[in-house]
Amino acid sequence: MASLRSAVLVIVALLVLASMLQFTVKHMESEEELKAVSVFTSFVHQARATVSAGTSLPDPNSYPLPEGCNITISGCNAELRCSGKLLAQRSIC
């Protein structure tokens, strides 16, 4: 009976540990996404300024985005995607 109780406690402890690890990974993903959105906002401000001044757009690849994130420009719109997920879309004109 004592060994069954110990086994149940070990299983519960492993489940709690797995839940905590999963939360940590999700939290890290959201921090990366927040960083990407912050960088994207800087890009949009710079792009709008260059459009107003009539100069060429900044290179989206020169901005320090987290791995798996990219900025694309289509016409007057800029999009931020991380791992294929659309995080932000703004007009730059």
Position 70 scores a pLDDT of 96
Position 31 scores a pLDDT of 87
Position 17 scores a pLDDT of 46
Position 6 scores a pLDDT of 72
Q: Report the number of distinct structural domains present in the chain.
A: 1
65: Cβ–Cβ under 8 A, 6 or more apart, which residues?
36, 39, 40, 71
Q: Would you say 37 and 88 are in contact if contact means Cβ atoms under 8 Å apart? A: yes
Q: Tens digit of pLDDT for each residue in 7-58?
A: 666 565 555 544 554 544 455 468 889 999 999 999 999 999 998 899 999 9
Query: Does the predicted model carry a pTM greater than 0.95?
Result: no
Query: Residue 50: which domain range?
Result: 2-91
